[in-house]
Each structure stands twice: as structure tokens, then as C-alpha cells.
């Protein structure tokens, strides 16, 4: 049996979104236990010209919902980038999970050679569905998830490799 586009996408988006939510939960618990500022975590950056944790969460959300929607042949939902608090970030991740859970195998599978166009401000990128998933969407999504992990880890949040890989499924 071959691996379907659905199997290579939707479960990965969902698992990593749940892991991302777990990172935020652990950051909240750490901040409370250690008297740290959640707002400082939210505004943390790895480098001045990179997006903050808020931006990384927004970008991970956009990548997951956009990837899932494009693979399903539907318009991605639009979420305003207005989050400033941990509660709002957690709500955005939950809203993203809720959308991705609506995507079905029947919407995604069947034609991994269909063309997906991604319109950017100054050009349009064109991919087959398979190329879009494996060469663009998943790498982009995982970049933002791992950057969020790195930002929180750099602030002292006690996250480990299994939090990233297994997340809420870690023992």
C-alpha cells in the first residue's frame, strides 16, 4: 500500500499543531512556577530580524490551514494576525486544528499531479500537489513549529526533543 497525500499531510499537521499547543501549555506552567513573563516569551525572537513567538505561531497556523486547504481544493480560512497574549495564541492553534480536522481523505487524495498555484505579492509559484506538500508546505510548516520550540527553549521552558517529536503522546 502506498502512502497517500492525505496520510502524509493532515495527520502531520494535526500532530504538530497539538504539539505546538503543548509547548504553549508548558510555557505557561513554567512561567507561573518560575515567576517569568509570558509576554516576554510571546515577544521573544531568535534574532532581531526574525518573527517573534507570536509570529511563529501565526505562521505555523497559516502554513497548516493553507496547506490543508490547498491540498483539499478549498479556500483557506482567513485569520487576522491580531494575537498578543498566550490565550489568543492557544485559541488560534485550536481554531487551526478545528479547520484541519474538517479536511477529508476524499478531498486530498486522487490526483497528486494536479497543479496548485500559490499567489505571492510579486509572483506565483506553481507545484504539483505532491511537490507542494513535500517540497513547500510541510517544510514551511515544520520550520515555524521548530522555531517556536527553539524560542521557548531559549527562554528556559523545559522542552525536550520528545516534546517536539511526540508532544502530547510522549510518556
Domains of the chain: residue spans and CATH: 5-110+130-169 (1.20.120.450)
Q: What are φ and ψ of residue 115, in 5° steps?
A: -90, 130
Q: Provide the pLDDT for residue 64.
A: 98
Q: Provide the pLDDT for residue 45.
A: 95
Q: Provide the pLDDT for residue 111.
A: 87
Q: Provide the pLDDT for residue 171.
A: 47
Q: Provide the pLDDT for residue 3.
A: 87
Query: Running DSSP on this structure, what letter comes out for residue 76?
Result: P
Burial class from Cβ neighbours inside 10 Å (0-12, 13-18, 19+) for residue 142 reads middle
Q: Provide the pLDDT for residue 170.
A: 55
Q: Provide the pLDDT for residue 116.
A: 95
Residue numbers in the chain where pLDDT is lower than 50: 171
Amino acid at each position: 500500500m502506498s502512502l497517500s497525500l492525505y496520510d502524509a499531510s493532515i495527520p502531520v499537521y494535526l500532530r504538530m499543531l497539538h504539539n505546538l499547543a503543548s509547548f504553549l501549555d508548558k510555557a505557561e506552567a513554567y512561567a507561573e512556577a518560575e515567576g517569568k513573563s509570558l509576554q516576554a516569551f510571546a515577544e521573544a525572537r531568535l534574532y532581531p530580524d526574525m518573527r517573534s513567538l507570536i509570529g511563529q505561531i501565526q505562521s505555523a497556523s497559516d502554513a497548516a490551514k493553507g496547506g490543508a486547504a490547498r491540498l483539499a481544493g478549498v479556500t483557506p480560512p482567513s485569520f487576522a494576525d491580531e494575537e498578543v497574549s498566550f490565550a489568543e495564541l492557544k485559541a488560534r492553534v485550536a481554531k487551526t486544528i478545528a479547520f484541519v480536522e474538517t479536511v477529508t481523505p476524499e478531498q486530498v487524495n486522487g490526483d497528486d499531479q494536479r497543479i496548485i498555484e500559490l499567489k505571492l505579492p510579486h509572483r506565483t509559484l506553481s507545484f504539483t500537489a505532491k511537490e507542494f506538500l513535500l517540497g513547500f508546505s510541510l517544510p514551511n510548516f515544520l520550520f515555524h513549529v521548530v522555531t517556536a520550540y527553539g524560542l521557548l527553549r531559549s527562554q528556559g521552558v523545559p522542552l525536550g526533543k520528545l516534546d517536539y517529536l511526540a508532544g502530547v503522546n510522549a510518556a
